[in-house]
Amino acid sequence: MHRDRFFTLTASCPDQVGIIARVSGFIAGNGGWILESSFHADALTGRYFMRIEIKADSLPILLAEFRERFRAEVAEPLSMDWRITDSAIKKRVVVLVSKQEHCLYDLLARWQAKELDIEIPCVVSNHDTFRGFVEWHGIPFHHVPVTKDNKAAAYAEIRRIFEDVRGDAMVLARYMQILSPELCEALAGRIINIHHSFLPSFAGAKPYHQAYERGVKLIGATCHYVTSELDAGPIIEQDVIRIDHSDSPEDMVRYGKDIEKTVLARGLRYHLEDRVLVHGNKTIVFR
């Protein structure tokens, strides 16, 4: 949180000899000081992944010029998918919520404490329940009702709000609605959800009740990217807690709220720090 400014390079390309040498040599050749680096080779798909942090003031050139040189000298010759972000530019996170408060409360507490060093330009809800709480934090609140008859218009309005506030990511903090395929596609890789089960088990509604009926001994939560297929997007983070035969569905709901908060916060942090690279329906997460 109090580190000096740095740039983060994330990239993937076909696996081949000399990738690290090519990238690190380019950075060093431009005066760059590498603070942190992570690499992964996927043997099954022949794809190589990397994440490198570069000390900003070690570069004698502007970031725009560094990007252009990297594109021409490294990215294009290696057929890379890549990007470079700047830690000085805070990510703008739009939060969506329904009637359950625990994830919203936790995110705003972490934001207020600067544990999540982000901007929250607004909160959007299909209910007016949390308007006072959100506005007390000085954050604009948008009430966008969603009914079976107005879903297309409602999701178009949510997209308009997101674009108007220049959002970087959208977080569904127990937003109990299924987003339209059009919105999922428009913001692919930018919408993060917390699902209250250890996916792919117990997708859909009432997962704790489904778990109770199956008599499971572990329940969990899953932070994942949202796609048009319900609860089936690339998984970012998961965790579990142990239960037993004496626990009711209500007990599981109560236990689950704690794990949902922590898993969502961890998954969101990984995304914001550019630690997540999506590969098909899987993710590579450089913790």
**Separation of alpha carbons 80 and 10, rounded Å:** 10
Residue 170 placed within a domain: yes
Helical segments of 172-248, H only: 181-186, 207-214
Amino acid identity, position 52:
I
The CA-atom distances, in angstroms, between 131 and each of 77, 113, 119, 144, 147 are 51, 21, 18, 12, 19
Q: Where are the beta strands (DSSP E) in 27-181?
A: 34-42, 47-55, 81-86, 93-97, 123-125, 141-143, 169-172
pLDDT at res. 275? 98
What is d(CA 196, CA 90) in angstroms, rounded to the nearest whole number? 28
Tell me, yes or no, whether 128 lies in a domain. yes
- Averaged pLDDT, 75-88: 98
The verdict on residue 222 lying in a domain is: yes
Distance between CA 39 and CA 59 in Å, rounded?
22
Q: Which listed residue (106, 231, 247, 258) is catalytic?
A: 231
Residue 230 has a pLDDT of 86
- Tell me: do 22 and 124 sit in the same domain: no
**43, 70, 86 - which closes a domain:** 86
266 inside domain = yes
Q: Give the residue among 197, 200, 192 at the shortest CA–CA distance from 175.
A: 192
Domain of 140, CATH number, reads: 3.40.50.170
Residue 232 lies in a domain: yes
From 86, 109, 141, the end of a domain falls on 86
Number of domains forming the structure of the chain: 2
Same domain, 275 and 240: yes
Q: 273, exposed or middle or buried, with CB in 10 Å at 0-12, 13-18, 19+?
A: middle
Q: What is the pLDDT of residues 176-224, one digit of tens each?
A: 999 999 999 999 999 999 998 887 888 878 888 888 899 989 989 999 9
Is the residue at 1 inside a domain?
no
Q: What is the mean pLDDT of residues 28-50?
A: 97
Residue 134 — pLDDT band, cuts 50, 70, 90?
Answer: very high
Range in 53-57, 173-177, 209-213 with the lowest mean pLDDT? 209-213
Q: What are phi and psi of 122, to 5 degrees?
A: -170, 165
Whether residue 89 is predicted with pLDDT greater than 60 in this model: the reply is yes
| Whether residues 125 and 223 fall in one domain | yes
pLDDT band, very low/low/confident/very high, at 42 (cuts 50, 70, 90): very high
* Share of residues in the chain with pLDDT > 70 (%): 99
Q: What is the mean pLDDT of residues 217-243?
A: 93
Q: Are residues 122 and 59 located together in one domain of the fold?
A: no
Q: What's the pLDDT at 201? A: 82
Q: Are residues 254 and 118 in the same domain?
A: yes
Q: In this structure, what token pair is assigned to residue 140?
A: 């604009």
Same domain, 53 and 136: no
CB atoms within 10 A of CB 172: 20
Under DSSP, the state recorded for 7 is E
Say whether both 82 and 101 belong to one domain.
no
How large is the average pLDDT for residues 244-270? 94
Considering the entire predicted model, what is its pTM? 0.94
Same-domain status, 193 and 56:
no
For residues 80 and 117, state if they share a domain: no
Q: For residue 162, what pLDDT band results from cuts at 50, 70 and 90? A: very high
> Does residue 53 share a domain with residue 68?
yes
| Residue 12 domain boundaries | 6-86
Domain-embedded: residue 225: yes
Instruction: Please say if the pLDDT value at position 133 is more than 70.
Output: yes
Neighbours of 114 (CB within 10 A): 10
Residues 143 and 80 in one domain: no
* Residue at 168 is within a domain: yes
| 231 labelled catalytic | yes
Q: Is residue 98 domain-shared with residue 82, that is, in the same domain?
A: no
Q: Which of 52, 86, 120 is the last residue of a domain?
A: 86
Q: What is the DSSP letter of 68?
A: H
**Coil, helix or strand for 193?**
strand
**What pLDDT shows up at residue 1?**
45
